[in-house]
Amino acid sequence: MKALFSLMQDTLNAAWVSRLLTLAIGLFFLMDLAPMEAVAAMGKMVGGGGVDVVNATSGATLVVQMVNKTMSDGKNVPFWVFCVSGSSNCHLPGPTLELGVGQTANFNLNVMGAPQEMPPYQGHTIHPHGLDVLQSEDGVPETGAAVLGDNYKFTVDTRYVGSHMYHCHVHTVKHLEMGMYAAFVVKAVDNLGNFTNVINQTGPAFDYEWNWVLSTVDPAYHADNAVGDSTVFADYNPKYFLVNGSEGLSKTAPAETVTAAAGKKIAIRLVGIHSVNGTFQIKDANGSSQSFVIYNRDGFALPSPQTVTSLEVNPGRTVDVMATLPAASGAWYPQITYKSLRNAAAYTNGTVYTRLNF
Amino acid sequence: MDVKIWRMFKRSEWYIAVLLLMFSGASWASTYTLYIKSGNWVVNGSGGATIKVWGFTDAPTAGPIVPGPLLESQEGESVTITVYNQHTLPHNFVVRGITTDQTQIPAGGNRTYVFTTSTAGVYLFSDTINSINREMGLYGAFVVHAAGGINKAWTNGPSFDIERLWVVSDMDKSRWNDIAGAGGTVNTSVYKPNYFMMNGMGGFDAMRAPNTVLQGNVGQVGLVRIVNAGQFDESLHFHANHFQIIDADGARLSSYEPGDTINVKAGTTAMLLYKFYRLGNYPMHVHTAQMETANGVYLNGAATLIVGQ
Ligand SMILES: [Cu+2]
Ligand SMILES: [Cu+2]
């Protein structure tokens, strides 16, 4: 703990803060010149909330913006979301970061002008959740992470080929809930360093990939008075249940509709940022459950893949699954039912539907 | 060791017990006396509070502790536990997965349990009469070590360098504990816990408690035994490395499953191996919103530290 506190003092050292600020401002202007080059073109990405997909090695800068969303009951809920600096495409969830295995992630967070709390919870960070990075890149203020902007650099080995996530680690009970999260995908690469479409380092290839960011929303946590150490955060009553930032209350109003070719292999990356339990299933138009194969949990390959028709996705976990689409055209409805942490009872409006046309 | 001396030691069980003590560095008691009492439990630090509890203690003149005293044995050992109910309501004592006697012990009564711990692992002991009794604090962990107290999860099982026990739990102070503790009736249909504990502590204490902080040299392996004695499922997220789950609620996995977050259902257990991979200080925390807090105060909930040195 001694080391922990001396690190915290270092962070609070004014000279260090100003150095970081200068660095962040400098990077902000540098990145502003070529923001769209940081956005990779992924021909086989069929969905994921329409968010920007960013190569994590690109030196891209992320910023934080307030986004107001009108929910299904007509109520307005403010979110804080990560956006690519200079991109007008600001969404809940934030942009997907993709990193080739063995390559060096190098990206920045600029919090200038970001919505934020007062001390001790000012600023924001990026925690590369599941990437097992060094303390200096971990984004945890309590162990010394800069909260007023930072550069993140790390590499991971082949065990990490799969889905992870990133999110702010400042006062996470508030900031995670506010929407400061997104998918982080580690990709296998070929000899030229180009991404390859395999589910893990030794796993099978897919034809399409679809990122699913799971989250839940208690509007009380988003209120103006829900700041600092407040008893608001002593209770969690989620009212809105999301996949890629959308509610998707029925098969006819899905959170997202994607299209893939019949007979092809699709990978779905489930990124669990929700704060309740959840059960994922794929159903056809008649409501019959389709089987799918689990390849990775928390971005690591399972000792052996598991074929199932139902999958529990827990808070803070990621799961990579694959399925082969039928040869004849049709539609599937991949869906998740959010459930209570106490007794696994499904929440009202707790099932979120998506649609996959083929 | 000289062969003659070894033979001499072998002559008596007493000598074997001494030998085990020397090698394990722990004191093995196969006989325990527990007392069930009402009292108060304090979660320290900002957001903390004094909470009415019913719990176990092994000190006849002391108040209850949360979780109850750690009970330990080795594979194959016979254990005798006598429980005195010094509370005004009936209670029972069940070691989940080991004992089956659910007989109520009346107020003022006592009961003795004799059983053999054949399988190394971690077990929840609790009052199973109803959900209130466990929620009120009548729970603890029973650890069955490998025979001989060796640093393996079980005989011929995976090895470890250091070991930790994490009992996580939750309490709804105003709707359950303070009502039941004052003799009132709890509406069990509503449960909104506002205290989330790691070994009975809020995170501020748990992040500096030497036996709770997961600390080791880079390259060493820690065995973490987890008991979720609460009413909520808990997702514990580890920074700085993935772990391997070796046992899910008493079922040993034939191939260990990797993860950075483990979901431990309410009333169940797990064991995992965590290899220290990174130098430095990292958090280990539940990944669900309010469970990181003590009545809303951030990080005084179910959290501790991982320290690689
Ligand atoms: Cu933040
Ligand atoms: Cu996380």
Q: What is residue A165's three-state secondary structure?
A: strand
CA dihedral angle for residue A21, residue A117, residue A171, residue A94, rounded to 10 degrees = -70
With beta carbons under 8 A apart, name residues in chain A contacting B255: 303-304
Query: Which residue in A131, A320, A341 has the most chain B C-beta atoms within 10 A of its own C-beta, making it the best mutation to test that interface?
Result: A341
Residue B281: its chain A contacts at CB < 8 A? 3-4, 7, 135, 143-144
Cα–Cα distance between B30 and A168 in angstroms, integer? 48
Domains and CATH numbers, chain A: 2-193 (2.60.40.420), 209-357 (2.60.40.420)
Q: Closest Cα of chain A to B256: distance in Å? A: 7
Phi/psi of residue A229, nearest 5 degrees: -85, 90
Q: How confident is the model at residue A45 (pLDDT cuts 50, 70, 90)?
A: confident
* Residue B188 contacts residue B248 (beta carbons within 8 Å): no
Token pair of A212 as six digits: 């699913």
Across the interface, of B240, B241, B261, the residue whose CB is closest to A316 is B261
Q: Residue A135: which of B237, B280, B287 has the nearest Cβ? A: B280
Q: Is A315 in contact with B288 (Cβ distance < 8 A)?
A: yes
Q: Residue B100 C-alpha to ligand 2 middle, in angstroms?
A: 39
Distance (Å, whole) CA A41 – CA A16: 37
Asked if the Cβ–Cβ distance from B296 to A304 is below 8 Å, we say no
Element (H, E) at A8: helix A2-12
Q: Which residues of A touch B215 (CB under 8 A)?
A: none
Do the beta carbons of residue B181 and residue B172 sit within 8 Å? no
Q: For A218-242, how does the pLDDT look when each residue is reduced to its tens digit (9 = 90+)?
A: 999 999 999 999 999 999 999 999 9
Alpha carbon distances (Å) from B196 to A30, A345, B86, B168, B170: 45, 21, 27, 7, 4
Sign of the four-CA dihedral B145, B148, B150, B154:
negative
Q: Which is higher by pLDDT, A324 or A34?
A: A324
Bridge partners (DSSP) of residue A336 are: A280, A352
A289-327 core/surface letters (b: 16 or more CB in 10 A; e: else): ebebbbbbbbbbbbeebeeeeebbbbbbbbbbbbbebee
What are the tens digits of pLDDT across the range A109-158?
999 999 999 999 999 999 999 999 999 999 999 999 999 999 999 999 99
Structure tokens at B94: 């069940």
State both tokens at A206: 């897919």
Angstrom CA distances, B286 to B53, B183, B203, B235, B303, stand at 23, 32, 11, 5, 7
Residue B15 pLDDT class (50, 70, 90 cuts): very low
- Ligand 2 centroid to Cα of residue B287, in Å, is 6
Residues with CB under 5 A from ligand 2 (ion): A 129
Convert the pLDDT of each residue in B64-80 to its tens digit. Answer: 999 999 999 999 999 99
- What mean pLDDT is reported for chain B? 92
Q: What is the pLDDT of residue B28?
A: 52
Query: Ligand 1 center to residue A169 CA distance, Å?
Result: 6
Instruction: Please tell me the least confidently modeled range out of A71-75, A246-250, B4-8, B279-283.
Output: B4-8
- The pLDDT tens digits for B232-270 are 999 999 999 999 999 999 999 999 999 999 999 999 999
Domains of chain B are: 31-149 (2.60.40.420), 162-308 (2.60.40.420)
- Answer yes or no: is pLDDT of A33 > 60: no
Contact criterion met (CB < 8 Å) for B289 and A234: no
User: Which string of DSSP letters, residue by residue, matches B66-134?
Assistant: SS---EEEETTEEEEEEEEE-SSS-B--EETTT------B-TT-EEEEEEEE-S-EEEEEE--S-HHHH
